[in-house]
Structure formats: C-alpha cells, structure tokens
Amino acid sequence: MTRYMLDTNIVSHLLRAHPAVVARVTAAPMVALCLSAITGAELMYGLAKRPGAARLARAVDELLRRVEVLPWTPSVMAGYGETRAALESQGPPMGALDLLIAAHALETGAVLVTNDQAFRRVPGLVVEDWTVPTGN
C-alpha cells in the first residue's frame, strides 16, 4: 500500500476545507495517510501562536488522533544527512523544516503530498499536489 505523507501546507488546506484536498484525503484509506513528526511540531507551533483558536485546536487534535504521526528515527536522521549534503551541492538550500520532512518521506518510502514546488528538487522524492482537482 502506498503511504501518503501530508506536508504542513496540505494539512492547512485540509483544515480550511479546500475542496480538492478534502476530496483526495477522504478518498484515501485512513491507514494510507501519515504525518511527519516535524509536521506535527509545525502544527503545534501554529496553535501556540493562536491561543484563542479553539475550533482550530479541536480540528488539529482530531487530525492528530486519526492520522499516524511517524516518529523521527535513527534511519531518518541518517537519510536527512545524506539528502541535505546532496541538495547543498546542487545550489541554494531549501528551508530547514522542509528538508527534514523531505528526508522523512524518503526514508519511510512515502509519497509527499505538498503544493510546495521546492520539494521537486529532492532526488528520489515522489511528490503529489492534491490542491489540483483530479483530472487536471
């Protein structure tokens, strides 16, 4: 079964009920969806910046209970080092958290679901953009 790791920007679209993202997420088996622990941390940071956002906090909590959050493991750490070194030799680096998420997807064999084109620079990373309606 293909695993789909949802990037933070896709989770943001999901929480805002973006039609194409909602359609793809609901069509996928729940066990096929996952998040990087890094994305989980980014979500917690977003909530910390908005302490009065009770509805958002409930939505994030529900998502984190339903979707598996993959832990940061020694093999992911090693993959991160290799991925970062490879990308730095090719030009300007991508954002630090994005690079951590990319390495996590690579090491777990997950397709990274994102609409951030910077991830397409990562060798071997399979990327899908679920903000685009199916068939386009």
| CA–CA gap between residue 64 and residue 106 (Å, rounded) | 21
Give how far Cα 70 sits from Cα of 32, 33, 41, 49, 50, Å. 12, 10, 12, 24, 25
Nearest to 114 by CA among 9, 17, 34: 9
Tell me the angle at which helices 54-66 and 8-15 cross, rounded to the nearest 10 degrees. Answer: 120
Structure tokens given for 86: 């490879």
Residue 96 in contact with residue 112, Cβ under 8 Å?
A: no
Whether residue 98 is annotated as binding a ligand: the answer is yes
Whether residue 7 is annotated as binding a ligand: the answer is yes
What is the Cα Rg of the chain in Å?
15
What residues are designated binding site?
7, 98
What residues are designated binding site for Mg(2+)?
7, 98
